[in-house]
Homo-oligomer: A and B are copies of this chain.
């Protein structure tokens, strides 16, 4: 039994899994990590801030592309190591590939089919 505050960042070495879902359509947009700092910043800003494992830094979603995520509602799971973020996805695309959702490949037969909805061209949006 954990009696710690929620989310329980200690449970998985300082991180929780953070799932972003479109607050209207229910589409799952992406999954990333938050540490306690990212979680607090998200609540302060009302905009989603993750922790970037590749850059080892706070990552305000959409800071480069403009496709920020406005926080609409936030939930924590039963064991406290995951949060669900209902968001308004500004610009309509959560994925760095320019697609609406990062989950754009559907399993079919022995392979994967691209079923993604392309919203922007990453070559035009990100710095080289």
Residues of A at the B interface (CB closer than 8 Å) are 6, 17, 19, 21, 25-28, 30-31, 43, 73-79, 82-84, 95-97, 99, 102-107, 112, 115
Contact = CB atoms under 8 A, between A and B. Distances in A.
How many copies of this chain are found per oligomer? 2
B6 A112 contact: yes
A7 B105 CA distance: 11
Contacts of A96: 78
Interface of A is mostly: strand
Contacts of A104: 75, 78
A73 to B, nearest CB: 6
A25 B26 contact: yes
A28 B21 contact: yes
